[in-house]
A and B are shown apart, each in its own frame.
Chain A
Amino acid sequence: MATTHLDDPRIIEFDVRTDEMLVNMGPQHPSTHGVLRLVLRTDGEVVSECTPHIGYLHRCAEKIGENLTPRQYIPYTDRMDYLAGMNMNLGWAMVVEKLLKLQLSDKAKHLRVIIAELNRIASHLVGMGAYGLDLGTFSPFLYAFREREKILDLFELACGARLTYSYLTVGGATHDLPSGWLQKCAEFIDQLEPVIDECHTLLTTNAIFVKRAAGLGVLSAEMAIDYGCTGPVLRGSGVDHDLRRDGEDRYTDMYDGYAFEVIVERNGHYPRDHNYPAVPRSAILGDCWHRFYVRMLEVMQAMDLVRQAIDRYSTAKGDYGIPVKLAEKLPKGEAYLETEAPRGQMGFFIVGDGSPIPRRVRARSSSFCNLSVTHELCRGCLIADVPAIVGSLDVVMGEIDR
């Protein structure tokens, strides 16, 4: 066989053998999104094996939880997925409420929807901007951060913090929204819409972007489920599943009566994609492009939800929260609840033993499971495509390492 190749001058360059090499990527590599270390076994430019090494940001979050009361633990949840602190607060607060069997007023629920969906927008904006950076384009990142800054301003008005909020807490929220906030929020959403369209022209339909992301890192629906991938990664593979619709009653109650469609491809079309050009031909369901596109459409979806929540909140009855003592005694028993955080299903597990301090606290991280599929996606790709694949999973190391 080799001799026939040698006879053909067009093929000869592919017959050159290279040695295997181990390449270490990270933990300080800028395009690995935090302190992620990947060890690549490469043959020339082709990656034959990719092993993620994690734990560089491990801060014993679960052990700390066993030494604090649930309300004291809220600030630690902020630091898990630090790009979506509100969603982390919400997940933890809800599981404690489940254990305490607390029922919240409508007002508190709508407030939570506004805040959680706003944070989802902020988080997806970072995901989108950083993904552009991974693929070598800079301007979408700047646009995304400019818009995210406005959300942080809104959060600062509501709770004083810009990154680690501790705003949503057990029993509701720490304060009500300040007067005039809803007006500001509605104005922000209105001006965001054209910016997102702009980002679509800059990235989604950009020929270079499509060439880089489409058809790359294809994750089948079966594999996504097998590895426990959730959120946009799962929906990007065509699985129609969103906890806001399919989750536990306690969580879906929050979204009861809201009009929204789960962002997933059905018959080659996404809900609300009519404004945008069709899915590129080179894209395969479950590839990097689809994961990215699901996130972009979820921004639009979240904007819609915020608009609806503002209307409902302003007419809702009840209080923004129920006072819960800092050292409220936890009943004996255990509760597990998953919420739909921007990066996937964030689960918290709490075991109470009659004292105010839980016996066990467990955080089931969505990024942890999403990242565990990397070695399957990176097998056989080019070295330059590894950041593109890892970027499309949109992982946050703070949540993986906890």
Chain B
Amino acid sequence: MSGQAFVDRLKKQFGDHITGANLEAIDPWIEVAPEGLVEVCRYLRDDPELRFDMLNCITVVDYLETDPKKAAKADFAPHLELVYHLWSFPNKVSLVLKVMLPRWKNDVPGELPEVDSVAGIWSTADWHERETYDLSGVRFIGHPSLRRILCPEDWEGHPLRKDYEMPLEYHGIRGR
């Protein structure tokens, strides 16, 4: 199936939930609205033709320029990008899904943005979403046990955010 035909098929099925696509990129990707993510993922996994049965990786990219000079020239508004890399064993093809999120829920700094968890679709997502929550600060609704995985439980902040600042002190250990 060609890239465009595939996007058209998804658009027909999900309408407004498919919000964009870039087929010229090195790894072509499809953008999904946060509300439609679980529905689209379930379809991608269960459709007898598509069968994307493996989730390889979940990544969050933080689009923010902390330097005010660079921020003025930046060609993007601050946001988070969730990237899902999928693989289909029967068809031996990969797929990239993207979900755009605000950096903070309702633009209130400190309130983590929310998206539905796909841990019920691929078990890989369980630990990957925990890691994403831990390091990038995205809350996954419906995750069985969303707690930190790499950082200690009492760690503050989400280190892979661009505006993260190292704590000066952690339990008597000097941070900087």
Contact = CB atoms under 8 A, between A and B. Distances in A.
A333 B96 CA distance: 14
A239 B149 contact: no
B150 A54 contact: yes
B114 interface: no
Contacts of A359: 61, 63
Nearest to A240: B89
A99 interface: yes
Contacts of B61: 334, 351, 359-360
B127 A226 contact: no
Given A349-B57, A349-B85, A372-B127, 18 more contacts: A55-B151, A99-B26, A225-B53, A225-B54, A226-B53, A228-B54, A228-B122, A246-B92, A334-B25, A336-B57, A345-B56, A349-B59, A359-B61, A359-B63, A360-B61, A368-B127, A372-B124, A401-B150
B146 interface: no
B70 to A, nearest CB: 9
Interface string B74-95: 0000000001010001001010
A307 to B, nearest CB: 28
Contacts of B83: 334, 336, 349
A369 interface: yes
A62 B160 contact: yes
A345 B150 CA distance: 20
A55 B124 contact: no
23 contacts: A55-B152, A58-B150, A62-B135, A225-B53, A226-B122, A226-B123, A227-B123, A227-B124, A228-B55, A246-B92, A333-B25, A334-B27, A335-B26, A336-B83, A336-B85, A338-B56, A345-B56, A349-B83, A349-B85, A360-B62, A364-B57, A369-B124, A401-B150
A364 B56 contact: yes
Interface string B35-74: 0000000000000000001111101011100000000000
A55 B149 contact: yes
A351 B124 CA distance: 23
Interface string B14-28: 000000000001110
A285 B151 CA distance: 36
B7 to A, nearest CB: 18
A345 B85 CA distance: 13
B159 interface: yes
Interface in B81-133: 83, 85, 89, 92, 94, 96, 122-124, 126-127
A66 B162 CA distance: 9
Size class of the B contact interface (CB-based, 8 Å) = 20 to 34
A55 B159 CA distance: 14
Contacts of B56: 228, 338, 345, 347, 364
B135 A225 contact: no
Given A55-B151, A227-B123, A360-B61, A63 B26 contact: no
Interface string A306-336: 0000000000000000000000000001111
Given A62-B135, A63-B159, A334-B25, A347 B85 contact: yes
Nearest to A402: B150
A41 interface: no
Interface string A350-364: 010000000110101
A205 B57 CA distance: 37
Contact of A333 (B26, B57, B92, B94): B26
Contacts of B53: 225-226
Nearest to A60: B159
A379 interface: no
Contacts of A334: 25-27, 61, 83
A66 B56 CA distance: 21
Contacts of B25: 333-334
Interface in A208-259: 223, 225-228, 239, 241, 246, 248
B20 to A, nearest CB: 15
